[in-house]
A and B are shown apart, each in its own frame.
Chain A
Amino acid sequence: MFHFLQFAATRAALAIITLIMVSFIVFSLMELVPGDCAERYLAFKNTQGSQISVADIEAERVRLGLDKPYVVRWGKWIVNAFRGEFGDSCILRLNISQLLGEKFYISLAICLTSLLIAYLIAIPVGIISATSKSPIVNNSLRLVSYLGLAMPNFLLALMIMLFSTIVFGDSLTGLFSKEFRDAAWSYERLMDFLSRAWLPVFILGWSATAFAIQTVRALMSDEVGKLYVLAASARGVTGRRLLWRYPARHSLGPIINSLGFDLNRIFNELPIVALILTLTEAGSLLIEALARSNDQQMAGAIIFLLTASIVGINFVTDIILALTDPRVRRSILG
């Protein structure tokens, strides 16, 4: 028990340190983008007929605290970020927390659902594929899985949209129908959301599943041939019981370990898919902020939240791993 608590505390501390370090990198990247928030803000004021001089920009910098040293500003940003406060978007001039609001949770939900579905399919299928001797099963699974790996998500999204436009006359874009777009959450709105959210989940889920099947299959193939499995079967343990109790349990460790990494991979793919399906969630907002409008505040906030989610999931998976595997618990740094 003591070992476990020590392990958990160390992990939690490491997670926070990681987050702080990542936030520093994020903040530094934001600084590298040409033009700061004062300039962008005043460029807007200019539209209101106000004349902008260098002195005005300087004054605005002081007002926004941009004249303070880099590290001081980062300190302030990180303290606010941990409180969920990211200030105003430079371009939209609206509060980021209010703007992001549920959008980030929607993105996270889409990614986590894709991840969940991927492993629900990949674990049994990967085990079957690793142990099955049938070439038909093996080859067809491999084909589906390679298709998922090789086909770019945006292409899949475009193909589905095109197909749907031609056959059903609906381009399948957006996350809500217009009746529910601005409505409060209700059962009907949730159903409406689900009737549209299946598409990004499906698209992201396919490649995630393909990837996960490959992982599970490789790990299982490694374990299945090992002596302890042979020994167990010699003692009369056979069939599904054998697979679940011995090689599958061993293969599970690395998989749990990589969940955070998988989430990151799915989230990386989300913005492109979201952009094509005109989903209004955090992924498309991120790409808009990074690639097009150079909205540093917005991009920083989304990246920070994403990193926090990944670090959080890694922490949870570490704890689960420690619970399932005593070897992990004993080594403090895992």
Chain B
Amino acid sequence: MKPFKFIKIGLPVCAGIAFTLLQFGFAGEALAMDCPAATVADPKGVPAGKYPQQYDRDEFESLAKCKLSFKANPDIAKLNKRIRGNPDLPPLEQRIPEDALVVAPYDSIGKYGGTFDMLSNATEAGTSDFLAVRHVNLVRYSDDLTTIVPNIAKGWEWNDDYTQLTFFLRKGHKWSDGHPFTAEDVEYWYENLSLNPKVFEKPKNYVLVADKPMTVDVLDPQTVRFNLPAPKPGLLVHFANSYAQGFQPKHFLGKWDPEINPDADKMAKAAGFENGMEVLSNYYGNSDWTDTPTPMLRSPDKVANLPADTMPTLESHILISESTEGRHLVANPYFHQVDTAGNQLPYISEQDEIFVNEDEVRLLKLVNAEADFKAQSLQLSTAPLLLENQEKGNYTVQLRPEVTLATLGINMTHEDPEKRKAFSDIRFRQAMSVAINREEINQAAFFGMGEGKQYVGFTDSPAFVDDKWKQYYAQHDPKLANKLLDEMGLKDRDGDGFRELPNGDKLVINLQFSVQGVAAALMELVGQHWGAVGIQSTVKEVTPDEYRSAQSSNKLDVTVWRNGQPLSIVLGTNQIFVPPYHDYFTVRTNMLWAEWIDSNGASGIEPPDYAKKMMKDITAFQSTPVGTMESDKLGASLVENLVENLLFIGVVQVPAPIYHRNEVKNVVEYKTHSFEYYRSYPYRPTQWWLDE
């Protein structure tokens, strides 16, 4: 918008250029409706709004002194036809909320079109990398990873003691099938799905506050309020970084719930299903994960009887086909974001995902530029090959630090009582920790680019984490390890070079792992280091599915996965301090403690006092405003109990590669290589475009 600016500066200038000015003046008149194509790199004089890199429509128009006119993907009608069950499209003005979210692209206003190609491991494995590319939630972490900004919600408001969180939604916001999105969809997700025992047998931790449910009030169609039974400033954080979206389409899913629609079961039977809840589960997967199989995969013989192949979404793209080989998506014609030039996002018309579960094949495909983006499942060991071929393959690799580090959890609730006794002895865990030569692992497996560390929970090391914990029992000291093991009575009785359990039983530790969790070389070396102090182990790689299933059914001697969360995440979710210390999808340990807690002591194994103390501390920690003396004291106590008892043994923290093809535009430098902020979500993939 140069003419515009020119007039402002130009008017007081001498009459010598009056003629030129007049010409520009006309141009300025004609363009007065259009807005400057402001980007993050070149804001074109538009001042920053309330939040970084994005504006509300009114806010943008008044700051840029212009009026946005909207444009849509020229192929959007064609794409819409491929979404089975979607009616024909109304004009664009009726598809975008009145107060649309205006986002400033990083470098350039994009061009529409293209297919974004992606690799995942399997239907429900290794998919979050791709899910995050189309993900939306009520709010979002900005790319500085500290500021929370609006997304689906237009804004929010806390009351003074953090017990009421009110979200304001966008007027005219619509689901991908054109049905209005309102506060009732938030209430429906909470009351009818999250707390419904027919959907989730037990509510997930993230929908509870101090283990008690909240209540949700619909104040008007665009205002919804969460009433918390106790203060929890971290609830907002949850809606910024979690995969779990705080809304679901009531108009669509509700009609299959007999409690909402009395005809639900009848309709379901007519479509060949047993009852309405079965249909609901087909669509929703009874999970907040957005990669659960849809009816297209789950009930391919019956999906044609249903009104749509998949449930409507607010995300940037919607699924149109799914098989065991992969999935295909098209742009959501009702997406609520526009760029600063008024173009409705997303720019990219289609997305395609194929499943590749073989590391070498994945690497070959990336070197060959057969995918547009990949971060998950790429570990540092792949970096040399990827970097070497960057120019030839026309792609870019960023090496960014992970916020997690590889950890080992020794199972103190092992099914075998002898092993349980040994593993519960703190000396055993101390010995296993100092037996590991972290520097050798760092050099051999990570080119010396990592850092050997103890696991302290908060991986961003806030000030209350005392330095002594970061290297606690993390030195390499096989002598000490041998001494501790000898003291425990783990002696080599049969002379095979390996120690037996005190009762004479053979002790062989089964080190099962998945490369999605940790590098294979790391596990091989850990196995060798343990062998060097007389602890025999077998190292075996399995799929993520198999690993998770074995871990949660308490079948493992040692659990192994990347672990750790930054402070901002811990404020919203307590899981790394409460048995089993993380969710199904990452690392867990001491499963039977969790069972004891869940069953109120009826079954399982009673956790020790320090574990109970941590549970109390984390609840208090989350209710206390962060940065206060009291909060720091609670934080320090959490770290002390966690590290002193070596619930997890930290190994090495490393950077990892983030890959994108150079044809993908507006990709910014990532701060971390991590799941914790939901992967790409802070870096706004909705404004990516393909320059092909």
Contact = CB atoms under 8 A, between A and B. Distances in A.
A49 to B, nearest CB: 4
A47 B584 contact: yes
B543 interface: yes
Interface string B539-550: 000110110111
A297 B554 CA distance: 21
Contact of A178 (B297, B328, B542): B328
Contacts of A268: none
Contacts of B204: 49
Which of A52, A54, A170 has most B Cβ within 10 Å? A52
A165 B367 contact: yes
B473 to A, nearest CB: 31
A43 B604 CA distance: 16
B66 to A, nearest CB: 41
Contact of B546 (A99, A169, A173, A294): A294
Contacts of A276: 358, 361
A292 B368 CA distance: 27
Given A53-B604, A54-B603, A92-B123, A35 B553 contact: yes
Given A182-B321, A292-B546, A174 B358 contact: no
Interface residues of A, number: 44
A52 B323 CA distance: 30
A91 B549 contact: yes
A interface, by DSSP: helix, strand, loop or mixed?
loop
B368 A169 contact: yes
A42 interface: yes
Contacts of B364: 161-162, 165, 171
Contacts of B356: 173, 278
Interface string A174-186: 1010100110000
Given A165-B367, A292-B543, A293-B546, A49 B361 contact: no
Given A42-B553, A45-B201, A51 B546 contact: no
B439 interface: no
Contact of B328 (A55, A174, A176, A182): A182
A80 interface: no
B541 to A, nearest CB: 8
Contacts of B286: 48
Interface in A42-65: 42-55
Contacts of B599: 51, 53
Nearest to A162: B364
A40 interface: yes
Contacts of A143: none
Interface string A153-171: 0000000011001000111
Contact of B549 (A40, A51, A176, A181): A40
B301 interface: yes
B585 interface: yes
Dominant secondary structure of chain B at its interface with chain A = loop
B497 to A, nearest CB: 27
B546 A50 contact: no
A275 interface: yes
B324 A171 contact: no
Given A94-B298, A178-B326, A181-B323, A47 B202 contact: no
Nearest to B598: A51
Contacts of B542: 292-294
Contacts of B545: 91, 292-293
A70 B543 CA distance: 28
Contacts of A85: none
B603 A55 contact: yes
B370 interface: yes
Contact of B322 (A91, A178, A182, A293): A182
Contacts of A170: 368
A192 interface: no
A135 interface: no
Given A42-B553, A53-B595, A280-B325, A94 B546 contact: no
Given A182-B321, A293-B545, A275 B553 contact: no
Interface size of B as a range: 35 or more
A52 B595 contact: yes
B203 interface: yes
Interface string B297-332: 110110000000000000000000111111010000
A288 interface: yes
A293 B326 contact: no
Nearest to A181: B325
A171 B365 contact: yes
A257 B365 CA distance: 42
B615 to A, nearest CB: 16
A94 B285 CA distance: 12
B370 A171 contact: yes
A244 B433 CA distance: 74
Contacts of B583: 47
A94 B293 contact: yes
Interface in B91-143: 123
B287 interface: yes
Interface in B341-386: 352, 354-358, 361, 364-365, 367-368, 370
Contacts of B367: 165
Contacts of A93: 293
A280 B326 CA distance: 10
A43 B124 CA distance: 14
A44 B543 CA distance: 15
B555 interface: yes
A195 interface: no
B653 interface: no
B280 to A, nearest CB: 14
B581 to A, nearest CB: 14
Which residue, B326, B368, B550, B602, has most C-beta atoms of chain A within 10 A? B368
B325 A49 contact: no
B289 to A, nearest CB: 8
B552 interface: yes
Contacts of A47: 287, 552, 583-585
B546 A48 contact: no
A88 to B, nearest CB: 11
Interface string A58-96: 000000000000000000000000000000000111100
Interface in B531-568: 542-543, 545-546, 548-550, 552-553, 555
B200 interface: yes
A196 to B, nearest CB: 13
A49 B584 CA distance: 9
Contacts of B552: 43, 46-47, 52
Contacts of B205: 49
A55 B603 CA distance: 9
Interface of A: 34-35, 39-40, 42-55, 91-94, 98-99, 161-162, 165, 169-171, 173-174, 176, 178, 181-182, 275-276, 278, 280, 288, 292-294
Given A52-B595, A94-B298, 13 more contacts: A43-B548, A46-B552, A48-B200, A49-B200, A49-B201, A50-B200, A92-B123, A98-B300, A173-B365, A178-B352, A182-B325, A275-B358, A276-B358
Interface of B: 123, 200-205, 286-287, 293, 297-298, 300-301, 321-326, 328, 352, 354-358, 361, 364-365, 367-368, 370, 542-543, 545-546, 548-550, 552-553, 555, 583-585, 594-595, 598-599, 602-604
8 contacts: A45-B201, A47-B287, A94-B297, A171-B361, A171-B368, A181-B325, A293-B543, A293-B546
The 5 tightest CB contacts between A and B, nearest first, are A50-B201, A51-B598, A292-B543, A47-B584, A182-B321
